[in-house]
Amino acid sequence: MISFEDAQKIVLSKKLKASPNNITLLESIGNFYSEDIVADRNYPPFNRAAVDGIAFYWDGTSPVKESYKLAGTVFAGEMWQTEIQEFECLRIMTGAPVPKQLNVLVRVEDISAENNSIYFKKGITFTPMQNIAKEGEDVLKSTVVLKKGMRVTPQHVGTLASLGYGFVPSYDFLTTTIIRTGNEIIEPTTDTIASWQIRDSNSFTIRALLKDYPLNIDVRSALDTIDALKEQIEAGKESNILILTGGVSAGDADYVPEALVACGFTCHFHKVRIRPGKPIWFGTHPNGCVAFGLPGNPYSVQIGIKVLVEPFIRACFSNSDNTFTNKVFTHERLQKIDFDEFIVANETATGVEVKKHNGSGDISATLFSTGMLRHNASIKKMEAGMSVNYYPWIKVD
């Protein structure tokens, strides 16, 4: 049995190298950047009018002239081409380029016009570059705007389009096979159910937790026999990632570790010093497939995905962000076992707190919870006010 930290290190050391590809802008959401996103020019690319108004030059110290002669109008999408004479001004619409020789823009509601002259209302103030967005003040040319490995999120889309990224450098999807094991497992939609049967929830949980990653997921089923498991593992090992649920402990019908080894996988660890989820199995195949054997209890499956599988997937796409955040623990809790514990938790206005449930087999354990927290084995008593690792079920990148 190995520590949680050692298990994490081993898993991340076996990360796959996803293949870079250019994906269309909208289809790239949820993927990861395979290279840095760089500004192709200054943004804004010119001094831009922030309001509709009148632009003129002012030296910043002399009194502003009472009136200016209107030389013309500039609309968005136009560039003023001629020289502007002293004491002349331009009417400029929001978003239009402001000629560099002009450095003050007064709102249209603060001026009046008579014939071809512009007058300023009494009491208004003037500041150099007022109401003008300076060229490059948002982003300078060649600046790295988004870094390789970051997640492509909906709030990035507008910026990517502005930078000219109709196709985003990201990655091809990884293939993933989930094998649900157990003679008792049936589909949730089955019309009749015997007292000894259990509806499959784990494959749905895994797909839900991983649905926003660039994965193509297939689901297979295997009975609790060596031959049945080997048949499904042989098919599933053609995927990049193989995830099995159930059959990894020490029971008479727990054949998954044996079947994986029989199919050519090397075991890197079996059993981790965590609770729930101790029987987790991890190994690799010479063809490059990486296998996770997760316990069959619903909450144990969620733990395995959040603390080992998700970090592994992120690493495959050059992302090293944690799947947890640090939160304040709001009460006291004693450690009763020399294991790292992962506990159902709720986030509150002041931090996170434990949510009671009936163990790893409780199908409702995570209902109405926001995530889980880690009680490190080295900390015998967590005190109110301590910082803890908190794993939200939905992490916002």
CA distance 88 to 118: 9
Higher pLDDT, 382 or 356: 382
21 and 171 Cβ atoms separated by less than 8 Å: yes
The residue among 235, 262, 259 whose CA lies nearest residue 178 is 235
Average pLDDT over residues 125-131: 96
Q: Where are the domains of the chain?
A: 4-19+173-316, 22-42+139-171, 48-133, 325-392
Higher pLDDT, 19 or 251: 19
393 and 305 Cβ atoms separated by less than 8 Å: no
Average pLDDT over residues 172-198: 92
Encoding tokens for residue 135? 């060229």
pLDDT by residue (tens digit) across 187-211? 888 889 889 898 889 999 999 999 9
Average pLDDT over residues 139-163: 97
The residue among 320, 311, 329 whose CA lies nearest residue 375 is 329
Q: How confident is the model at residue 368 (pLDDT cuts 50, 70, 90)?
A: confident
Q: How confident is the model at residue 396 (pLDDT cuts 50, 70, 90)?
A: confident
* Helix, strand, coil distribution of the chain in percent, nearest 5: 20, 30, 50
The residue among 283, 243, 256 whose CA lies nearest residue 267 is 283
Cα 268 from chain centroid? 28
Phi, psi of 147 (to 5 degrees): -95, 150
High-pLDDT (> 70) share of the chain, %: 98
Strands (E), 94-166: 104-107, 111-114, 117-120, 132-133, 144-146
Q: Is 56 exposed, middle or buried (0-12, 13-18, 19+ CB in 10 A)?
A: buried
For the chain, what is the mean pLDDT? Answer: 94
Can you identify the CATH homologous superfamily of domain 22-42+139-171?
Molybdopterin biosynthesis moea protein, domain 2 (3.90.105.10)
Average pLDDT over residues 253-268: 94
Query: Tell me, what DSSP letter sits at residue 84?
Result: P
Instruction: Look at the domain 325-392 and name its fold.
Output: Beta-clip (2.40.340)
Instruction: Look at the domain 4-19+173-316 and name its fold.
Output: Molybdenum Cofactor Biosythetic Enzyme; Chain A (3.40.980)
346 and 370 Cβ atoms separated by less than 8 Å: yes
Q: Is the pLDDT of residue 114 over 90?
A: yes
Encoding tokens for residue 309? 């599988």
The residue among 237, 234, 224, 243 whose CA lies nearest residue 181 is 224
pTM above 0.85, yes or no: yes
Q: What is the pLDDT of residue 362?
A: 66
Q: Is the pLDDT of residue 240 over 90?
A: yes
Q: Is the pLDDT of residue 83 over 70?
A: yes
Average pLDDT over residues 217-221: 97
Encoding tokens for residue 48? 């831009």
Q: What is the pLDDT of residue 336?
A: 84
The contacts of residue 244 (CB under 8 Å, 6+ apart) are 178, 179, 180, 181, 233, 256, 260, 281, 291, 292, 293, 294
Q: How confident is the model at residue 366 (pLDDT cuts 50, 70, 90)?
A: confident
The residue among 214, 229, 237 whose CA lies nearest residue 259 is 229
Average pLDDT over residues 79-98: 95
Question: Which CATH code for domain 48-133?
Answer: 2.170.190.11
pLDDT by residue (tens digit) across 282-306? 999 999 999 999 999 999 999 999 9
Read out DSSP for 17-42? -PPEEEEETGGGTTSB-SS-EE-SS-
CA distance 281 to 250: 12
CA distance 387 to 385: 7
Q: What is the pLDDT of residue 359?
A: 66
Q: Is the pLDDT of residue 360 over 80?
A: no
